[in-house]
Amino acid sequence: MKTILTAAHLALAAAPALAAPPAVIVREAEVVRQEPPPHGAIGMSTAYRISDAVPNRTLEFRKRVLHVGAAIGPHPIDHDEVYYVLAGEGDVVSDGVTTRLTAGMAAYLYRGAVVGIRQTGREPLAMIISYPVVKP
């Protein structure tokens, strides 16, 4: 099969790609703070608000460590969301169904669900939380 290149193909090949903004490098030590977890302020947590440092972002990406006994209380979500456990263990709830998560496990939570997570065990629960930014 022979491929024929038209003037349009050649113009597209020669056109410069749309330039993306430069990468934003974020050091977690520069965005860390101690705060109660969201959605109920149950206990304390260490929050690494990584994506807050990124202009014009479309994605939230955060690391949060729930201290012993802490929880992100149940709350409805209007987007899909992922909790990925780095260390420790916790119980995630989605629409009343509770599941134990440990290091290396992720919970993919769907838009419209009522979700939350509670630290369990002796060690803090360290996790990554990611979800799209919902524009008004």
pLDDT at position 134 is 72
User: Which of these, 131, 90, 125, 128, lies nearest to 113 by C-alpha position?
Assistant: 131
Domain boundaries, the chain: 27-132
pLDDT at position 36 is 97
DSSP code string of 60-122: EEEEEEEPTT-EEEEEE-SS-EEEEEEESEEEEEETTEEEEEETT-EEEE-TT-EEEEEEESS
The Cα 63–Cα 31 span in angstroms is 10
Q: What are the average pLDDT values for consecutive 10-residue runs of the chain, which has 136 residues?
A: 56 67 94 96 97 93 98 96 98 97 98 98 97 79
CATH topology of domain 27-132: Jelly Rolls (2.60.120)
pLDDT at position 5 is 55
